């Protein structure tokens, strides 16, 4: 591939879908570079490739479309400093030994968090396939493979919301985040974000980041109210090769 563009195969995605999946890394890139990248991936057996392009990068966005990229959605990336006191309560933490009723509820919330995801919006991915992906994501988060902790809040004994968190050195990251429809507007989401911040502080994180769908105005508003600032908007393209 030209030096301006590179790609890597994604083991988790490839295992889940059952065929090679790759991620393209390039900003900016013109038609020729993208075309050569797709050709190289095809020769290596890739069937699906993701590419995230800055929303204001006209050259790369145009090149993606001209080379068969399907614009799926927009990704909004947020971050903030972790400044809270780590000594407060951190909500209830769930693990792999979770009751089946709780697991079913967490699966439900995971699916809610993916309602506007690129996996659901891609017409080439069947409904059950994207749903299976989010259920597996939750199961692997509970097992510690896709997240370091799963925090929940309950209402009358039933899980009303959940958030998954991870720490990489001083960087904290939020993965899945969902609040049950009947519990929205009751402060559950704000409480979970506060729990996440306390977990980050307790685990040595000085900054936190999260990404959501750019079109999800409700989620964006929740993060902004919690002190997160928008860092980047990217268009997400899928290439079926």
Q: Are strands 21-25 and 207-213 parallel, antiparallel or unpaired?
A: unpaired
Q: What is the CA radius of gyration of the chain?
A: 19
Q: Does the pLDDT value for residue 40 go beyond 80?
A: yes
Asked whether residue 1 carries a pLDDT value surpassing 70, the answer given is: no
Tokens coding 75: 């990704």
Nearest in space to 61 (alpha carbons), one of 76, 48, 75, 71? 71
- Give the pLDDT mean for 174-180: 96
Token pair for 30: 């013109």
> pLDDT by residue (tens digit) across 69-105?
999 999 999 999 998 876 666 678 898 889 999 999 9
Other CB atoms closer than 10 Å to residue 75's CB: what's the count?
20
Question: What share of the chain has pLDDT > 90, as a percent?
Answer: 80
pLDDT digits (tens, 9 = 90+) for 123-149: 999 999 999 999 999 999 999 999 999
Hey, what domains does the chain have and what are their CATH numbers?
Answer: 6-68 (no CATH), 81-233 (3.40.630.30)
Structure tokens at 167: 């720490």
Q: Is the peptide bond before 28 cis (omega within 30 degrees of 0)?
A: yes
- Using alpha carbons, select from 160, 189, 187 the residue that is nearest to residue 174: 189
Q: Report the predicted TM-score, pTM, of the whole model to 2 decimal places.
A: 0.90
Residues 191-205: tens digit of each pLDDT: 999 999 999 999 999
CA distance 23 to 26: 10
**Averaged pLDDT of the chain:** 93
Mean pLDDT of all residues in 205-214? 95
The single-letter DSSP state of residue 78 is E
């Amino acid at each position: 591939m030209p030096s301006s563009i590179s790609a890597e195969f994604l083991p988790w995605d490839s295992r889940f879908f059952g065929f090679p999946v790759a991620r393209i890394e390039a900003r900016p890139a013109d038609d020729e570079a993208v075309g050569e990248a797709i050709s190289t991936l095809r020769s290596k057996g890739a069937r699906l490739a993701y590419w995230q392009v800055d929303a204001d990068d006209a050259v790369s966005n145009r090149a993606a479309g001209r080379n068969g990229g399907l614009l799926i959605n927009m990704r909004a990336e947020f971050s903030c400093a972790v400044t809270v006191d780590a000594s407060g309560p951190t909500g209830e933490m769930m693990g792999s030994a979770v009751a089946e009723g709780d697991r079913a509820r967490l699966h439900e919330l995971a699916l809610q968090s993916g309602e506007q995801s690129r996996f659901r919006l891609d017409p080439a991915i069947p409904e059950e396939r994207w749903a299976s992906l989010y259920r597996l994501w939750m199961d692997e988060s509970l097992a510690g493979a896709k997240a370091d902790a799963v925090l929940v809040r309950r209402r009358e004994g039933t899980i009303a919301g959940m958030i998954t968190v991870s720490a990489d050195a001083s960087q904290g990251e939020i993965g899945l985040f969902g609040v049950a429809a009947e519990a929205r507007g009751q402060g559950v989401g704000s409480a979970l974000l506060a729990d996440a911040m306390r977990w980050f502080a307790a685990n040595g994180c000085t900054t936190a980041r999260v990404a959501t769908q750019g079109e999800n105005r409700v989620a964006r508003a929740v993060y902004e109210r919690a002190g997160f600032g928008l860092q980047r908007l990217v268009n997400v393209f899928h290439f079926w090769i």
